[in-house]
Amino acid sequence: MSEELFRNAGLVTPQITCRYCDQRADKQLSAPAHTPGRWGDQTGKYGVNGFFDRGLGATYATSMEKDRIMEAKGLASSGDFDKHHAEDQMEKQRANEAQHAKNMGKYRSRMNKHGDKGRAIAETFSIKEMRKQGTLTDSGVRGD
């Protein structure tokens, strides 16, 4: 082996002469394993005995092992989501809470008006109103 293994592929000659026996030999280069965490490129990254992840509650030695543990626990890496995922989910939650408060206000006013829970619920959560809110998407439901 020599430093020629680390040259740019375009500069490597197809044959070399052995510096010990002076015979010509064809070079046979394999592609380097540049896939972090998959073919052992991270050896030592997690220490001799692996790495204990407090959030995961487990010890692992490679990223593949970490992925298996996460999958077994039903967890997903934050890198699997877009960068605004948390903000988008919080905005959806706020919108749902606002709609719930609005519905409860309608229910209370109709309950005070009619004094009948059934009628107040029927008027507050009519099929037309639920479709408008997006909570009823089944087109097979009929009535009003």
pLDDT digits (tens, 9 = 90+) for 90-136: 999 999 999 999 999 999 999 999 899 999 998 888 888 888 888 88
**Residue type, position 138, single letter:** D
CA pair distance 131, 65, nearest whole angstrom: 46
* Cα four-point dihedral sign 54, 59, 64, 67: negative
Of 140 and 75, more confident: 75
The answer to the question of residue 3 being in a domain is no
Task: Choose the final residue of a domain: 63, 80, 97.
Answer: 80
* Same domain (yes/no): 67, 94: no
pLDDT score for 100: 92
Q: Which domain holds residue 101?
A: 85-133
Q: Into how many domains does the chain fold? A: 2
Instruction: Please say whether the beta carbons of 92 and 84 come within 8 A.
Output: no
